[in-house]
Amino acid sequence: MKRSQQNFSRSASYAAISCAALGLAACGGGDDAAAPEVSAAEAGQTVEEALSPADAFADIAARHGEEMLVVSPELATGLGVSEDLAGEGYLTRLGGYGFAASQRAREMNDRFLQELRSIDKTSLSGDTLVSYEVLYDAYRIAARRNQFAFGGASEFGAGRPNSGASWAATPYMVTQLTGPHLQLPRMLQTQHPIETPAHIEAYIARLGEMGRVFDEVIETVTADAGVGVTPPDFVVNGAINTIRGLTEVDPGEHPLVATLKEKMAAVDGLTAEEQGAYAAEAAENVEAVVYPAYARLAAALEGLAPQAGFDAGIWRLGAEGEAYYQFTLDAYGGGGRTGEEIHELGLREVARITAEMDGLLKSIGLENGSVAERMETLAQREDNTYPNTDEGKEALLALLREQVGEVNAVAPDWFGKLPATEVEVRRIPVYEQDSAPGGYYSAGALDGSRPGIYWINLKDTADNPIHSLRTLTHHEAVPGHHFQISLQQEQESIPLIRNMLSYSEYVEGWALYAEKLAKEMGMYDGRPEEDLGRLQAEIFRAARLVVDSGIHAKRWTRGQAIDYMVSATGETRASVTREIERYSAIPGQACAYKLGMLKMEALRAHAEAELGEAFDIREFHDEVLLAGAAPLGVLEAKIDRWIASKQG
């Protein structure tokens, strides 16, 4: 059952506190119900001091989550929460992105960390203990991030202020892939509800807010430049090109207006005249506010060109850049490994997977040339690519939907709990596809009103040969991101704030683990070409360990990194170039995939060895997924406790 929003209302939270503090028998049984009938204030205690450690933690987590939602209306929109949680009229507002917002984020994180430290962790158990450990890690990581005075501060591990649910370690406020210039239009088009006239008016109001937002973004970008922190020139140019793509159409035809028109058509009772008036008002805001805001941002980025430089790595920032990279590796599951150690791990994994691919290629008659060259030959086969036409793209979408259905049919044999939330397959909007990845997933709403979405980039079908599509489906949709994120959102035992945090080493590690799990589930049986696509995806993630550390720790150039990755993976130079530019903009994050997968495989192997015949794969997957995203150390401790409970 999907959890209801009322589970997170302040009134419910305070009712629980009052019951525990006053000991009212009508509120339920347990030790708290037998407490003397005296208020916390009369006893000289705070409300939280009057609670058990578990209840005190639950209250702290609820308060922290609600405070985060109030200052992060974009995040509240993504989660689909009520105004009781995020504040009246939050759908009309956008968050802060300037100096004041960063200062607030630092203060909030420091305060939240101190409040959490007031809880006696040794008194916690089960999912409550996991949630405590996750939040403590989030606040601690954010505090470490906030020691670096650039890129915007972090609110308890959730990224720069109001950036959304995924914690991102990019040191730059704006890149070709990240930043409010991309996140805000995406949020408005895919997450802002359009079900009533009030929703429409809120949407238009948010368009009017974008001028203020972009001026605050420019404030942060220019302040960073003032202390020598600018992205590489190709990152700056990529962001400028993206902005130009976002503003090249007539305002009345802009996706922000077109999306509104499309959604308004389904609003009950809204006349054609009213729809036209709303559309005209939205177009006016796009022309008068949004386009000038983008123009100001583009001009600010163009002003960075003289100091941008072409060096790709974060080492370009000197000792602080080197410290920042070590921080990102630790934040993304490195477990204390240095850049050099990550590099060597990647080289070993690339060699292992290359040998497996070589054998499989020979089995289908591709024997001559390097593995990468033979994979290029496979990709270029005429029957391995859909036509780059509207009909071909529709056929590709149909194939992805079929693959989702195949996994869902056998999933009960591998998972004890399956998500109730549906997943839809959609193409990435045309205006975004030039800088977007090959595919990605966006979560559904907490209340089930919006499905999860598996997005596919259809700019050129040649970038997605048929042999590669199945693995992308398993990663982005089932049993990958959709299973993991939806199951977490549906667990009532997980505090709402946990759905505002993300750990790439867990989330992406699970999705990469899911690619290989799909092979165990029979998805590649009789499909050696698609199994090669799976291995190519895995070697791609292994090569990321090599090139990310190469760029940021070993001072590789952009060209060196591209050459290595093309030779190791057989991917096209165009697609690899986009990837390398991504790693340059977001140091460390590309390592999270393989680091997380390796840890999950190790935890499974350990559980199988310890439990023997008592090991149940469905139980193991439930243990990994149902407690939600967590840093790898927290996950390991949880699995160890589960093993001990099975043995004892």
The reported pLDDT for the residue numbered 169 is 65
Residues 6+ apart with CB under 8 A from 99: 219, 220, 223
Span 499-514, average pLDDT = 93
Rounded to whole angstroms, what are the CA distances from 387 to 41, 383, 570? Answer: 72, 10, 21
Q: Hey, where are the domains in the chain?
A: 1-51, 54-167, 180-310, 335-596
Whether residue 60 contacts residue 119, with contact meaning beta carbons closer than 8 Å, is answered with yes
The 3 state secondary structure assigned to 181-215 is: HHHHHHHHHHCCCCCCHHHHHHHHHHHHHHHHHHH
Work out the pLDDT band at 433, boundaries 50, 70, 90: confident
**What six digits make up the tokens of 339?**
């850049």
CA distance 119 to 57: 7
Residue spans of alpha helices (H) in 227-290: 233-246, 255-264, 272-285
Residue-wise pLDDT for 547-564, tens only, equals 999 999 999 999 999 999
**CB-based burial of residue 384 (10 Å sphere; 0-12 exposed, 13-18 middle, 19+ buried)?**
middle
Residues 6+ apart with CB under 8 A from 176: 235, 238, 239, 241, 242, 435, 581, 585
Residue-wise pLDDT for 321-350, tens only, equals 999 999 999 999 999 999 999 999 999 999
Cα Dmax for the chain: 83
Q: Transcribe 402-418 into DSSP letters.
A: HHHHHHHHHGGGT-SS-
The reported pLDDT for the residue numbered 648 is 81
Instruction: Return the residue matching tokens 């693959």.
Output: 403
Residue-wise pLDDT for 212-258, tens only, equals 999 999 999 999 999 999 999 999 999 999 999 999 999 999 999 99
Residue-wise pLDDT for 609-621, tens only, equals 999 999 999 999 9
CA distance 561 to 543: 10
Share of the chain above pLDDT 70, in %: 90
The reported pLDDT for the residue numbered 216 is 96
The amino acid present at 285, given as its one-letter code, is N
**What six digits make up the tokens of 310?**
């072409």
pLDDT at 158 over 50: no
The reported pLDDT for the residue numbered 51 is 87
Which sign does the torsion angle of CA 409, 412, 413, 417 carry? positive
The reported pLDDT for the residue numbered 124 is 97
Whether residue 188 contacts residue 173, with contact meaning beta carbons closer than 8 Å, is answered with no
pLDDT at 575 over 60: yes
Q: Helix 291-302 to helix 233-246 angle, to the nearest 10 degrees?
A: 160
Residue-wise pLDDT for 5-24, tens only, equals 323 222 222 222 222 222 22
Element containing residue 129 per DSSP (H, E): helix 126-145
Span 387-396, average pLDDT = 97
Of residues 78 and 205, more confidence is placed in: 205
Q: Transcribe 584-645 into DSSP letters.
A: HHSTTGGGHHHHHHHHHHHHHHHHHHHHGGG--HHHHHHHHHTT----HHHHHHHHHHHHHH
Residue spans of alpha helices (H) in 380-477: 390-410, 466-476
Work out the pLDDT band at 112, boundaries 50, 70, 90: very high
Residue-wise burial string across 268-283, b where 16 or more C-beta atoms lie within 10 A, e elsewhere: eeeeeeebeebbebbb
Span 584-611, average pLDDT = 97
Span 618-632, average pLDDT = 96
The reported pLDDT for the residue numbered 49 is 61
Element containing residue 455 per DSSP (H, E): strand 452-456
The amino acid present at 168, given as its one-letter code, is A
Whether residue 154 contacts residue 105, with contact meaning beta carbons closer than 8 Å, is answered with yes
| Mean pLDDT estimate for the chain | 89
Q: Transcribe 522-591 into DSSP letters.
A: TTTTT-HHHHHHHHHHHHHHHHHHHHHHHHHTS---HHHHHHHHHHHH---HHHHHHHHHHHHHSTTGGG
